[in-house]
Structure 1
């Protein structure tokens, strides 16, 4: 039996991963990682198997740890609805907060939506969490109170995070209590039209994630194993890892603007952290509605994945368009890739082995990443908008042109050669079009799935986590 100083688990919907680390002086050194299929019926079995596989790979009898951390997406992520005042302002702010926390945002409801339809949406979705925003501090109160009444009338068993106008929050809480609804109050997510306060609401979402995952069989045991009593949603941990890399710590300087592409079997996530924006004044940041100058931003393409959502890539890009990414064409190949993606949807655990399937995976990856990038990034306006004062050529939305580093995460990269990974990334960025994509980034690959562990460590071991990321991810650039 061998003891390590730190184990970090990630309980995913398909695989449970574990990474081991040892201390050397003031640094943490990567020891090894392994995985095993996630056992949905009892999560603990997958944890045990992953740790057993790690011991086997390291040629040890067993692995024990003095400290354990964990992330998870096994419960499918928290189902969330955001409610706000104006659809382009506080409702959109609610979505940004939820996305940065790693929740699944299923609907955004604004004050303009008819009340009966709001109730119908809540009853149909039955969200785990409702993020109730609305009104800047000192501004509108009516929308927050009306939406609180809507939630009570819907009778959904949701936890409500009240994150709107601070002056209206006590009244909203009283309304929700009449419906015996559990509430959590946090500072206003948008205290002014120039400012987003993400962290308090994000922390509340993470805490609710911990409470709710204990309902899944075996995940309660995961909480007993972790030293902190805290399990972070995996997408939230990835974003926290990116933030640490970009911003650094009090003692260590960060690495500037970073873009993370995380492609999995079900989704393609894109995270961007623009460190250049940290010291902007509120006025320089501009209106929250524009999204363009927020420090951290995450988008999720739920229909673009390499297994469960593979047919979504074909539906979005077209079979011929996907094949063209790697220079292939022909009706026979069109039929073959269509059949292949349909097979993957029904058999998400399939591992591609022969050359044709590997090429199909490569083409699907390039297509999914390109679409996800362009949906995440802003663009150059092509027409006049006199209301917003936009003329052709004006940059609109998230400006990624000054991104210095692009980090690729996901199985397709972990199991490809470095040359193959670089080919996927370069082709994904080849057709910039009118999008505000990075102009000359360094491409780096997270071969050992370390970014989620970096995020999990970020609060407890910030300096060690940053050094670990530098040694295991940033040293792979070309």
Structure 2
């Protein structure tokens, strides 16, 4: 019996995808509808399709690995000292960990308000931050005391000043609140160190999703005892492509644009930022100089968020920009987006609807990229020292590779996918967008698989991704 290297299973809210690999090559690729009531049904259907595509009754796999986004994110509330700092740190912790931030509360909020928020939101996770190491201790302890009064069932991740963590832990344990200590997510005003806190939240995410019927069986089947949040797998793949491995050089600066029906995610990895000194990095609250950065536009998408695109950019401007006549197209365009909001599984039935999908894609990508990137200042700010012409925020001008992910790119020709990205980048304005990147299309939805496999074998994962994109570079 033929033995394959990896079977990667991704449980999404809509589709369950399975990818089979041997000798670093994709040998089978299937997807089937996810049945939330029993996700094993989608897995079993995919298994049948793989066997049919291989012409085999049975097959063996060395490693079965998995990711999921089907259960939704853990509800998280972040508590800290200063709201801007806590918000910044919390977003970095939540990024790809399986958590969704409901509220940011700080030492600046009245105590009773903080208690009210915890009781009303009923979070799964409370990220308890505050104070750089050997700095302020009062906020962490005070917030622990307030949590003790809330009778919360949340798991509290204590990730603030290391000198105050033990006392906070004792307070929470005394109130029978589950808690775990992690490295301070902001040990200095220049640094974010979120990996340990993110890993803890990821483990809680796994506990939640395996409660879904069928996923517990999948957990028993996989060989590394992990189910990775799908966005986290995409980020890991992006980092691997950018940085390379011990033996092989990466692509350098990379951007991923993941355009879906509900959201548009942008990941960027800039390896050279690891060489910056603290004074070059600047304050955490005002810089975007982490090596890896992700933004999510929750109201920009091609289906359930199509109206969000129109709320962000006037539909007249969208049509005019593409040279389409307003009299004949405006009402049709708005009506089409309203229909997508009601029927998100709709596929374009004619050339007009096909063109409208293209307009939505170009607009969503353009807005998402410009929000992710920094800009050239046009004003003078005596407080921050910013002057006209100064770059502010994340500088993507030297990014050489942009990879497009999503159904519209997978189901259209490579040339059409590239054209969508080129049009989105055409009017850069003051945005620090890539000047002339190579555009690659993840036509087989393989990016996330590289991230998952990298947790077991980086070299294998890197080669899988390079094999995917090497004939797709131009």
Bin for the TM-score computed over the shorter chain = over 0.9
Write the distance in 2 (CA, Å) between the matches of 1:345 and 1:221: 34
Give distance in 1, aligned partners of 2:293 and 2:12. 22
Cα 1:349–1:154 change in 2 (3 A) is farther
Q: How does 1:249-260 map to 2 (within 5 A)?
A: 249-260=245-256
Check if 1:10 corresponds to 2:6: no
By how many angstroms is 1:100 displaced?
4.4
Q: Is residue 81–residue 139 contact of structure 2 (8 Å, CA) maintained in 1?
A: yes
Match of 2:42 in 1: 46
After TM superposition, list the pairs within 5 Å mapping 1:387-398 onto structure 2: 387-398=383-394
Is structure 2 residue 314 aligned with structure 1 residue 318?
yes
TM-score, normalised with respect to structure 2 = 0.95
Q: Secondary structure at the match of 2:256?
A: strand
Count of residues paired in the alignment: 474
Structure 1 pair 332–172 and aligned structure 2 pair: CA distance change class (3 A): farther
Is the Cα–Cα contact under 8 Å of residues 405 and 441 in structure 2 kept in the other structure?
yes
For the residue of structure 2 that corresponds to 1:382, the secondary structure is coil
Query: Whole-Å Cα distance in 2 between the matches of residues 124 and 474 of structure 1?
Result: 51
CA change 1:291–1:56 in 2 (3 A) is: farther
Report if the CA contact (8 A) 2:96-2:229 is conserved. Answer: no
- Provide the C-alpha distance between the structure 1 equivalents of 2:176 and 2:342, rounded to a whole number of angstroms: 41
Q: Deviations over 1:21-54 (max 9, x none)?
A: 013xxxx221121100111111111111122223
Answering whether residue 248 of structure 2 is matched by residue 247 of structure 1, we say no
Deviations 1:130-173 (A, max 9, x none): 22211110011111122223333333322121111111111111
Contact 2:320/2:326, CA 8 A, preserved across alignment: no
1:153 lines up with 2:149 in the alignment: yes
Partner of 1:19: 19
Structure 1 portions without partners, runs of 5+: none
Moved over 4 A (4+): none
Corresponding residue for 1:349? 345
Q: CA–CA distance in 1 between the matches of 2:209 and 2:349? A: 35
**Superposition deviation, residue 323 in structure 1:** 2.8
**How large is the RMSD of aligned CA atoms in angstroms?**
1.8
Counterpart secondary structure, 2:108:
coil
**After the TM superposition, which residues 345-424 of structure 1 pair with which residues of structure 2 at under 5 Å, given as runs?**
345-424=341-420
Name the residue aligned to 2:302: 306
**Is structure 2 residue 144 aligned with structure 1 residue 177?**
no
Match of 1:110 among 75, 85, 106: 106
Note if contact 2:80-2:129 (Cα within 8 Å) is conserved in structure 1. yes
| 1:90–1:190 contact (8 Å) kept in structure 2 | no
Deviation at 1:224, TM superposition (A): 1.4
Q: CA deviation at 1:332?
A: 4.5
Contact 2:281–2:287 at 8 Å: present in 1 too? no
Compared CA separation, residues 415 and 60, structure 1 to 2 (3 A): farther
Query: Is 1:35–1:54's contact at 8 Å kept on the other side of the alignment?
Result: no
Q: Is the 8 A contact 1:266 1:307 kept in 2?
A: yes
TM-score, normalised by the number of residues in structure 1: 0.94
Determine the structure 2 residue equivalent to 1:228: 224
Deviation (angstroms), 1:442: 0.9
Over 3 Å counting, the alpha-carbon distance change for 1:318 and 1:455 in structure 2 is same
- Check conservation: 1:52, 1:62, Cα contact below 8 A: no
Give unpaired runs (5+ residues) of structure 2.
none
Decide which of 20, 29, 34 is 2:25's aligned counterpart: 29
CA shift digits 1:336-391 (9 cap, x unpaired): 22222222222222233422222111111111111111111111222222111111
- The yes-or-no answer on 1:75 pairing with 2:71 is yes
Q: CA deviation at 1:421?
A: 0.1
Q: What secondary structure is seen at the aligned counterpart in 1 of 2:30?
A: strand
Q: 1: distance between equivalents of 2:229 and 2:151?
A: 27
1:442 aligns with 438
- C-alpha change, 1:204 and 1:356, in structure 2 (3 Å) is same
Point out the more displaced range, 213-222 or 455-464: 213-222
Residue range with higher mean Cα deviation, 81-90 or 222-231: 81-90
Distance 1:151 1:328, change over 3 A: farther
> Equivalences for 1:138-217 in 2 at 5 Å?
138-217=134-213
* CA distance in structure 1 between the aligned counterparts of 2:354 and 2:180, rounded to whole angstroms: 47
SS of the equivalent of 2:84 reads coil
